[in-house]
Amino acid sequence: MSKRAIRCEQILRIACSLAIGMTSGLICFWYQRLSGRGAGDLLYSLAGARVVLTGQNPYTIPNPPGGLPIFYPLTAFILVIPFLPLPPEVAAAIFFGGSSAALAFLLSREGWHRLLFFLAAPYWQSLQVVQWSPLLCAVWLSPILLMLVSAKPNIGLAVMLSTRWERIGLVTLAGIILLSLLIQPLWPLSWLEVIRKHPNAMPLLSAPGVVLLLAAVRWRERRARLLLALSLIPQRLFYDQLPLFLIPQTTRTLQIMVIGSWITYIGWFFWPQGGMSWAIIGEFIPALLIILLAPQSDRIGTPRRSMVE
């Protein structure tokens, strides 16, 4: 491919990514405004940031926003400080739109078909509640962003264990953790006490989640490590399963995963007692089969010795 063709493709990728970011941001703004949710789940991080800036412990405030404890780590509060001056709906729109644009740019690097990712039900659920999931998926594609895993350590840990590490990413991650400890040295203890009350579910412990251990057969492949890690961490429906859609590499497997995600959502909507089992059947198991049945040429692995580059 000529330099001119490469430049044109780059411009097209940037334009497409900006279009996806602007569209998702506007939809997010519209949804938060009409539903009266303000900044959605971003509200908790923003509220925590305001409390931290007053010198108080955000995990012991008497009247937390939305009547729920603040489950996010203090590192997340640091990351959202730039959004504090904005109206809640605008903050949500810029945050989610920017996350989507970054993710679209990184996905399109691997082929335009990868943008089918944005049709997955967990993405739209992330949009509705304004979650960090798209940004964490971007980290998996670009480890230079590794600092962002500190905003949501459960999904962030799965991402971190299954992608390569770059020194600049590790340095910035260590930097934000150190900064948070300088601000409030004992915040991890308060946070751990709060998250014990979080209503999470671990896929491995939900029927028929035990089959997900078969991913260990391909443990040398980063996609298998991602699936295995996600099956072992506590999480919520439906946005926390978004990183699973990084696993399919072809148009057909992406289509299968997208269809499975909507079957999952519809099934849970009509039979909510199924809980996490719906996600295992409609999303985790298809991802597992994609890994186990992938031809040798489609397998993408990361040798342990090159985890830090």
pLDDT at 215 over 80: yes
Residues 243 and 159 sit within 8 Å (Cβ to Cβ): yes
Region 198-222 average pLDDT: 91
Return the number of other C-beta atoms located less than 10 Å from residue 209's C-beta: 21
> What confidence tier does 199 reach under pLDDT thresholds 50, 70, 90?
confident
Integer CA distances (angstroms), 87 to 92, 216, 271, in order: 9, 46, 37
Nearest partner of 246 among 148, 137, 133, 122, judged by Cα: 137
Cα angle 41, 43, 47; round to 5: 140
Span 43-48, mean pLDDT? 92
What is the distance between the alpha carbons of residues 277 and 296, in angstroms, rounded to a whole number? 30
> Does the pLDDT at position 232 exceed 70?
yes
Rounded distance between C-alpha atoms, residue 220 and residue 126, angstroms:
30
Encode pLDDT of 259-290 as tens digits.
Answer: 999 999 999 888 888 789 999 999 999 999 99
DSSP symbols for 142-210:
-GGGGGGGGGSHHHHHHHHHHS-B-HHHHHHHHHHHHHHHHH-TTHHHHHHHHHTT---B-GGGSTTGG
CA-to-CA separations, 232 to 110, 154, 176, 225, 266, in angstroms, rounded: 28, 10, 26, 11, 24
Residue 172: pLDDT over 60: yes
Q: Do the Cβ atoms of 92 and 28 come closer than 8 Å?
A: yes
Whether residue 224 contacts residue 293, with contact meaning beta carbons closer than 8 Å, is answered with no
Mean pLDDT over the full length of the chain = 90
C-beta separation of 121 from 238 below 8 A:
yes
Position 112 pLDDT exceeds 90: yes
In this model, does residue 48 exceed pLDDT 70?
A: yes
pLDDT of 224 reads 96
CB atoms under 10 Å from CB of 243, counted, come to 24
Q: Is the pLDDT of residue 61 over 90?
A: no
Q: Residues 139, 79: contact at Cβ < 8 Å?
A: no
Cβ–Cβ under 8 Å, residues 245 and 253 = no
- Phi, psi values for residue 32, rounded to 5°: -65, -40
Contacts of 8 by beta carbon, 8 Å cutoff, 6+ apart: none
Kindly state the average pLDDT of the residues 56-84: 84
Mean pLDDT for 128-151 is 96
CA distance 229 to 84: 33
Is residue 284 within 8 A of residue 231, CB to CB? The reply is yes
Domain that holds residue 128: 3-306
Q: In the chain, how many domains are there?
A: 1
Token pair, residue 192, equals 């751990």
pLDDT higher than threshold 90 for residue 196? no
Q: What is the tens place of the pLDDT at every residue in 249-259?
A: 999 999 999 99
Residues in a beta bridge with 235: 201
Please tell me the distance from the alpha carbon of residue 168 to that of residue 174, in angstroms, as a whole number.
10
pLDDT at residue 298 in the model: 53
Question: Any idea which residue has 């946070």 for tokens?
Answer: 191
pLDDT score of 64 more than 80: no
pLDDT tier, 303 (very low <50, low <70, confident <90, very high otherwise):
very low
Kindly tell me if the per-residue pLDDT of 304 is higher than 50. no
Q: Has residue 308 got a pLDDT over 70? A: no
Give the per-residue pLDDT at 297: 47
Per the listing, tokens 């006490």 go with 193
Q: What angle in degrees, to the nearest 10, is found between the helix axes of 133-141 and 153-162?
A: 20
